[in-house]
Amino acid sequence: MSARSCPKPRSAVSSWGGTGLATAMLPPGGKPVAEFPIIIVGPENADPYSDHGDAIEALARHYQLPLPRARCYPYAQRS
């Protein structure tokens, strides 16, 4: 992967107090890239969707990216 196609730095979904709720690795420039694996995890790689789905939906709207749990949470198939 070249420097131009490096992933966007991680985006954090945090509470007003600054507590991390989820971390998202988004594609370069925040634009859809078919082969780029978008990853969203909670603290200790926990599933953030059940407790913070609204915040993840807001992140999806902000970047205009679909962020479904089945695609973005890497452990969804195991749970």
Annotate the chain with DSSP letters as a single string. --GGGPPPPPEEEE-TT--EEEEEE--GGG---TT---EEE-GGG---HHHHHHHHHHHHHHHT----HHHH-TTGGG-
Of how many residues is the chain composed? 79
Please report, in angstroms and rounded to a whole number, the separation of the first and last CA atoms in the chain.
31
Domain membership of residue 34 as a residue range:
3-78
Domain count, the chain: 1
The fraction of the chain above a pLDDT of 90, given in percent, is 39
The alpha carbon dihedral of 49, 54, 57, 62 has a sign of negative
Say if residue 79's pLDDT is above 60: no
Supply the pTM of this predicted model. Answer: 0.76
